[in-house]
Amino acid sequence: MTNGDSGLKALHNPDIPVPEELQSTIAITSLDRIYNWCRARSMWPLLFGLACCAIEMIAAAASRYDISRFGMEVMRPSPRQADLMIVSGTVTKKMVVPIVRIYNQMAEPKYVLAMGACASGGGPFKEGYNVVSGIDKYIPVDVYVPGCPPTPQALIHGFLTLQKKIESQSLRTVPWYRSGESTAVPIPLLGPDIIDPRQADLIRRQAVQAATQAATAPSEA
């Protein structure tokens, strides 16, 4: 977290000047700015290490890089207490089901950071029979951190990018304060292959079409 003086000065609204001698103790600012300033500097990540990228994520939390400096060190093992899901590592078809389920269990406001080539797009295993081509096919991703693996510095850059995104949001337009029901992300089904329930009608039509073609095709015998 930024120290008191510079943190407070960052909050000042330049349209309403505060005397120099009071700037370390008083800030005049907007509700949006203070709301986002607090949220961005106290993100609690959900521990979700899936493969080698997780080692770099762990290194980012250890003493050499220390994400505590950004208020992000409180890694939570529970979706109830986390507002940032770091998907770090290879996302297999088997694991995407609990990832989406846990994402749905996180309370708003919540964010997702895809760490590394695997989580962002399948990485070196993209063509693998058991790997999904990016977690963004299933849940919304706010920040992508490239690399195989990304360094701890790259992950910290991702955190700072996310902070900028949070600071650009407004209480008046954020989806979680709007009226109406929020809809959960559909949980993929694990069958012979992974199935996205949103594509169920298309899959059904294609299956019927394939069965019809097979029934009407002339026999090779």
As a whole number of angstroms, the distance between CA 73 and CA 76 comes to: 9
CA angle 93, 47, 49 (to 5 degrees): 45
92 counts as binding ligand SF4 under rule CB under 6 A: no
Kindly tell me which residue out of 46, 53, 82, 87 binds ligand SF4, with binding defined by CB under 6 A. Answer: 53
Kindly tell me which residue out of 7, 98, 124, 146 binds ligand SF4, with binding defined by CB under 6 A. Answer: 124
Options 41-49, 57-65, 111-119, 181-189: segment touching ligand SF4 (CB under 6 A): 111-119
Closest CA to 41 of 81, 84, 78: 84
Owner of token pair 């069958």:
191
Tell me if residue 170 falls in helix, strand or coil: coil
| Minimum separation from the CB atom of position 115 to ligand SF4 (A) | 7
Q: Is the peptide bond before 109 cis (omega within 30 degrees of 0)?
A: yes
Q: Is the peptide bond before 175 cis (omega within 30 degrees of 0)?
A: no
Q: Max CA-CA distance within the chain? A: 94
99 counts as binding ligand SF4 under rule CB under 6 A: no
Give 149 or 158: the residue with its C-beta nearer to ligand SF4: 149
Q: At what angle do helices 152-167 and 31-40 cross, to 10 degrees?
A: 160
89 counts as binding ligand SF4 under rule CB under 6 A: yes
Options 8-16, 33-41, 48-56, 62-70: segment touching ligand SF4 (CB under 6 A): 48-56
Give 69 or 94: the residue with its C-beta nearer to ligand SF4: 94
146 counts as binding ligand SF4 under rule CB under 6 A: no
Options 17-25, 78-86, 118-126, 175-183: segment touching ligand SF4 (CB under 6 A): 118-126
Helix (H) or strand (E) holding 119: helix 116-121
Query: First and final CA of the chain: distance in angstroms?
Result: 74
Residues 151-210 that bind ligand SF4 (CB under 6 A): none
134 counts as binding ligand SF4 under rule CB under 6 A: no
Q: Where does this chain bind ligand SF4 (CB under 6 A)? A: 51-53, 89-90, 116-118, 123-124, 148-149
